[in-house]
Structure 1
Amino acid sequence: MNDSPPPTPAPLSPDELGHRLTEVFDLVGPLYRRALRKVEQGEPVEGVSVGVRAVLDLLRQHGPMTVPQMGRTQALSRQFVQRMVNEASVHGWVEATPNPAHQRSSLIRLTEEGRAVITSVLGREHHLNRQVGGDLTDAEVSACVRVLTEILRTFDHVDVD
């Protein structure tokens, strides 16, 4: 009886990897657009656009950030992020606070109302995500996250402004 683990499969060659990752991109594009549409369909409920949702969730995850920091983190232009922050501010979901590290770039933080709104949006999204089938395992989801993280890292140098 051999108790050794099965051998680890060899990495794909760059050419094979390129072809397989094209399959991933062919799925990620439509998935992203459909998911955005679904979030936007909930806008009448919470009043949160997809862009504002991204800002609120980023602040929920990371705490107060500047607009440039949010833009870099989300690969979005500073101008777009500023418009989303302005929209969220009008609703009272975020507020600007002094930034001790940089006088001209305020820190943006969630208000309690903003935290409640993003919690509601995420709850609705979680309910939808629970409906994904396929009997997926933790290992499969972890592998997916690892692959997408590596792909994203490849494009870290792309300027969004």
Structure 2
Amino acid sequence: MEVFALVGPLYRRVQRKVEQAEAIEGVSVGVRAVLALLCDHGPMTVPHMGRDQALSRQFVQRMVNEAAARGLVESIPNPAHKRSPLFRLTRAGQAVIDAVTAREYALLRQVSGDLTEADVRACTRVLTRMLALFDDVDVDQAST
């Protein structure tokens, strides 16, 4: 429970930092997430992006629409599913996510202390296992 108690506030603080920099790159946290997914995984469908990030398809669709309206992503035919197109980064989208991540990495390198690479690997391993525990959560099913 201590990890969850730290991860929530950490996520929200990072999210606010990204939002503060929106004036620099001009992208919201949601659009940034879409761009990062496409950068890391290549072309994806909206449902796949939603599952990957545990976000509703509707939210992801709004972020994809916003990114597409700004010329950061484009749809391409999906040979596996005619009604669910793939989305990929445009050159402009790649440039934006490169700038965003470069700024974020510079900020994260400022984490001080005696953290080692082994510490970071252990943290990543723990968080990955915790995330896997909740893989079956359906974000598109509203609870009543």
TM-score range relative to shorter protein: over 0.9
Structure 2 residue runs without a partner (length 5+): none
Number of residue pairs matched by the alignment: 140
Describe the SS at the equivalent of 1:153: helix
Structure 2 residue corresponding to 1:38, chosen from 17, 25, 40: 17
Q: One-letter code of the match for 2:73?
A: V
Cross-structure match for 2:73? 94
The percent of aligned pairs where both chains have the same amino acid is 71
Q: Which residue in the other structure is 1:151 paired with?
A: 130
Local SS of the residue matching 2:75 = strand
Instruction: Measure how far apart 1:30 and its partner are.
Output: 0.7
Distance 1:143 1:40 in 2: 29
Gaps of 5+ in 1: 1-21
- Aligned-partner Cα distance in 2 for 1:139–1:126: 18
Summarize deviations over 1:91-125 as a string: whole Å, max 9, x none: 10000001111100000000000000000000110
State yes or no: 1:106 paired with 2:85.
yes
Measure how far apart 1:35 and its partner are: 0.3
Which one of the candidate residues 78, 84, 101 is aligned to 2:57? 78
**Shift of residue 145, structure 1, vs aligned partner:** 0.3
* Deviation at residue 151 of structure 1 after TM alignment: 0.5
Quote the Cα distance in structure 1 between the aligned partners of 2:92 and 2:62: 19
The answer for the alignment partner of 2:118 in structure 1 is 139
Structure 1: which 4+ aligned runs deviate by more than 6 Å?
A: none
Structure 2 residue corresponding to 1:57, chosen from 16, 21, 36? 36
**Bigger radius of gyration among the two:** 1
Distance in structure 1 (CA, Å) of the matches to 2:129 and 2:34? 23
CA RMSD of aligned residues (A): 0.5
Normalization by structure 1: what TM-score?
Answer: 0.86
Q: Which amino acid aligns with 1:54?
A: A
- TM-superposed CA distance for 1:37, in Å, is 0.1
Residue 26 of structure 1 and its aligned partner are, at CA, apart by 1.0
Write the letter of the residue equivalent to 2:124.
Answer: V
What does residue 7 of structure 1 align with?
A: none
DSSP 3-state at the match of 1:100 = coil
1:134 deviates by 1.5
Aligned to 1:13: none
